[in-house]
């Protein structure tokens, strides 16, 4: 459909299919735990859908590969051996109920404090 410059936009068509909208269950600053693997972390960014490389995605074994049409979370993560950055699908995360802080060296650069099981993002990093 071609629109004439200066003309009103086409009317909303309630019969047109809408793309699915995924709702993020977690927010920046939440402490979460992986459902299958022994690590936990604090969320520092959220992608509404998968936004990593195909190479990264294809490296996940097909039988456990998550759907792409869901939120993916960037975590400052830790396990018993190290700290690192993880990229995890929503289906693989649950809230961490331990109320223990995460031990990651980058936390102080992004967050101000920790209380009631979540971190407060520094004002300089807020949108």
For the segment 71-121, what is each residue's pLDDT rounded down to a tens digit? 999 999 999 999 999 999 999 999 999 989 999 999 999 999 999 889 999
Strands 40-47 and 31-34: antiparallel
List helix spans (H) across 1-127: 54-58, 107-110
For the segment 22-74, what is each residue's pLDDT rounded down to a tens digit? 789 999 999 999 999 999 999 999 999 999 999 999 999 999 999 999 999 99
Q: Which residue is it, tokens 């004439």?
A: 4
Please say if the pLDDT value at position 9 is more than 70: no
On whether the CB atoms of residues 66 and 89 are closer than 8 A, the answer is yes
Closest CA to 41 of 87, 2, 108, 3: 87
pLDDT band at 1 (very low <50, low <70, confident <90, very high): very low
């Amino acid at each position: 459909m071609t629109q004439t410059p200066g003309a009103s936009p086409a009317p909303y068509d309630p019969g047109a299919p809408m793309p699915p909208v995924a709702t993020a269950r977690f927010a920046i600053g939440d402490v979460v735990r992986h459902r299958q693997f022994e690590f936990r972390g604090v969320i520092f960014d959220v992608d509404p859908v998968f936004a990593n490389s195909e190479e990264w995605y294809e490296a996940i074994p097909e039988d456990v590969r998550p759907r792409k049409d869901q939120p993916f979370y960037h975590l400052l993560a830790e396990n018993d051996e190290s700290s690192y950055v993880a990229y995890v699908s929503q289906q693989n995360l649950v809230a961490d109920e331990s109320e223990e802080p995460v031990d990651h060296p980058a936390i102080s650069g992004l967050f101000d404090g920790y209380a009631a099981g979540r971190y407060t993002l520094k004002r300089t990093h807020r949108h």
